[in-house]
Amino acid sequence: MNLSLGVLASGSGSNLQSILDACAGGSLDARVAVVISDNPDAYALQRGRAAGAAAVVVDPRTSASRAEHDGKVVAVLREHGADTVVLAGYMKLVTPVLLDAFPQRVINIHPALLPSFPGVHIHGEVLEHGVKFSGCTVHFVDAGMDTGPIIIQAVVPVRDDDTPDTLAARVLREEHRIFPQALQYLAEGRLRLAGRRVLLDPPCPSSGTLHNPTVCS
Ligand code: GRF
């Protein structure tokens, strides 16, 4: 199935760009119908326009509640024929108004290995905690914050000399790989929910075990 994507983005939109590039390159059977932002200055809007998508600002200050805001977002998504909603660096929590309008069709990317380190600005927390791996997660969105069923994750090593910025850059490179891939699995109708688990049908082989630091013996 060719997906019609509505992408919600608040910032630079590099994840949006990876999706636009995958659509243009033929590795993702989808088109970006509309980019919606809560931030009029989001560079994501320009990226969308440059690729021929509609770009719409829905200003949260014009709504009295998050639910009212999401009602306006849903109206724009419907107007542009979106069937799947992609949260690509969208800094607002979505409400049931949006989730109920697109059941099992709202997908988010998070720059950590959920369920560890939910929330925002997490790379500093990751370093402070001392974990040896971080990564990113694409997941279906539910009513919680970063709690929905996980579709795909990528793992990156945390290095001793990392800063939040160097770690964020390493994670972001993987975000750009797994987000289009997760959407392509959805387009191919290969994602099956079993409780909280998202199973890939037919399955793909998984990569090998990782160690950080290296196990020498
Ligand atoms: C990404 O790290 C994403 O995981 C997080 O916000 C960042 C957005 O980056 N939710 P961009 O706007 O896609 O460049």
Q: Average pLDDT of each block of 10 consecutive residues along the chain (217 residues)?
A: 94 98 98 98 98 98 97 98 98 97 98 97 97 98 96 98 98 98 98 96 88 88
11 lines ligand 1 (CB under 6 A): yes
* The predicted structure's pLDDT at residue 1: 67
With both helix axes pointing from N to C terminus, report the angle between 14-25 and 43-50 in degrees, rounded to the nearest 10.
10
Rounded Cα distance between 185 and 207, Å, is 17
Q: Report phi then psi at 91, rounded to 5.
A: -90, 10
Domain locations along the chain = 3-195
Whether CATH 3.40.50.11440 fits 3-195: no
Q: Is the pTM here over 0.75, yes or no?
A: yes
Rounded Cα distance between 161 and 27, Å, is 35
Which residue's C-alpha comes closest to atom 7 of ligand 1? 89
Picking from 38, 80, 95, 88, the residue whose alpha carbon sits closest to that of residue 62 is 38
89 lines ligand 1 (CB under 6 A): yes
Residue type, position 216, single letter: C
The verdict on whether omega for the bond into residue 202 sits within 30 degrees of 0, i.e. cis, is: yes
CB 47 within 8 A of CB 54: no
- Which residue in the list 110, 123, 139, 176 is annotated as catalytic? 110
Is 110 part of the annotated catalytic residue set? Answer: yes
**Angle made by CA atoms 170, 174, 178, in degrees to the nearest 5:** 165
CB 35 within 8 A of CB 16: yes
Residues 6+ apart with CB under 8 A from 202: 190
Count other C-beta atoms under 10 Å from residue 60's C-beta.
16
88 lines ligand 1 (CB under 6 A): yes
Taking the centre of ligand 1 as the mean of its atom positions, its distance from the CA of residue 146, in whole angstroms, is: 14
**Which of ligand 1's atoms lies nearest the C-alpha of 111?**
4
Rounded Cα distance between 178 and 184, Å, is 10
* The predicted structure's pLDDT at residue 64: 97
175 lines ligand 1 (CB under 6 A): yes
Residue type, position 187, single letter: A
Rounded Cα distance between 39 and 42, Å, is 5
Taking the centre of ligand 1 as the mean of its atom positions, its distance from the CA of residue 89, in whole angstroms, is: 4
Q: Which helix (H) or strand (E) holds 87?
A: strand 84-87
Rounded Cα distance between 183 and 105, Å, is 10
Taking the centre of ligand 1 as the mean of its atom positions, its distance from the CA of residue 145, in whole angstroms, is: 15
Burial class (CB in 10 A: 0-12, 13-18, 19+), 100: exposed
